[in-house]
Amino acid sequence: MKKTTKYAIGFSILLMATLVFIAADHIDAPGSMATTADIADYFAFEPTEDSDNTTFIVDLQSNVLPDLAYGTFDEDVLTEINIDLDGDLIEDAVIQAIPRNDIMYFFGPAAPSQTGLSGTVLVNSPLGSVAISGATAVTETTDSGVKLFAGPRQDPFFFDFFQFNAVIDPAIDSAPGGFLPPSEATDTFDGANTMTIAVELPNSLLGTPTATNALGLTVYNTWITTNRKQ
């Protein structure tokens, strides 16, 4: 990975609150920004071609700018991966992750205790657990073939965010040419880290989808949430 000088620029939380667009979901809104529950990014993919597994990667927190919450999973924050099979945009199953004593515990996939904005940990549907990693990744593979990981990783998101903010600045003389050519553009997230939760599991555990995308292909509708203990 290319090393770049990280942002000596003294961006304050106050200034960040005025920025229109930060990133994929990093620091996206005043209410969640810079908290331990702030979602940074989300990926879902087939790990290898023709695989019968799906990999979900959830990134929480970020150290891309100073003074952000970063480095420790919060025991009061439940992370959920929501799966809609039938296309009504209501979760049919959830996968949950929550830390306790340096271990990340996973539950599901199973129907949530209730759909909607609040819920409980599905203690009767344990999926497995994995020690929260330090700098070196420690992974766990359960008897049912589920792979689990939780810990710090490089932030794989890439974006010239400083130039973007110049682009969307309505001032007439702000970036009139738009984005920079590759030789001048800079990936703001080069060198940043994030707190990653990763789950890879057989599609058979997720159920059979009937939902379709805009091209008519059969898909799971998925989204992630962080949920704070009341």
Partner 1 sequence: MALATITLLESCNNDDDVMAPEQMATCDDNIMNGDETGVDCGGSCNPCETMGMNPDFTGTFVQVDFMGRPGINTVLSADGATKDAHNVALPSEMVAMFQTAFEARLEQYHDVYAAKLGLDPADVNYENNILGLDAVTVTTVLAADVLQVAPDLPTTYFNPGTDFDNDGRILVPDGDEVALTGRMLSDDIIDVSLILLFGGAEGDRFSGQDVDMDGTPDLPRLTSDGVGLTADILTDFPYIGDPE
Residues 157-196 that bind partner 1 (CB under 8 A): 157-160, 163-164, 167-168, 170, 172, 174-182, 184-187, 189-193, 196
Cβ neighbour number for residue 87 with a 10 Å cutoff: 15
- Taking CB under 8 A as the criterion, which residues in 113-152 touch partner 1? 116-121, 123, 126, 129, 135-137, 139, 147, 149, 152
**Partner residues linked to 77 by β-bridges:** 228
| Amino acid, res. 183 | S
Q: Which two tokens stand for residue 31?
A: 């209410």
Residues binding partner 1: number (CB under 8 A):
113
The answer to whether the CB of 201 falls within 8 A of the CB of 54 is yes
Closer Cβ to partner 1, 45 or 111, answer by number:
45
Q: Does 5 bind partner 1 (CB under 8 A)?
A: no
**CA distance linking residue 218 with residue 85, whole number of Å:** 10
Task: Tell me which of 1, 8, 9, 14 binds partner 1, using CB under 8 A.
Answer: 1
End-to-end CA distance of the chain: 40
Closer Cβ to partner 1, 93 or 160, answer by number:
160
Closer Cβ to partner 1, 9 or 114, answer by number:
114
49 φ/ψ sector (left φ>0, alpha ψ -120 to 50, else beta) = beta
Q: Which two tokens stand for residue 93?
A: 């199953």
- Taking CB under 8 A as the criterion, which residues in 20-79 touch partner 1? 20-25, 28-32, 35, 37-39, 41-47, 49, 52, 54-55, 57, 77-78
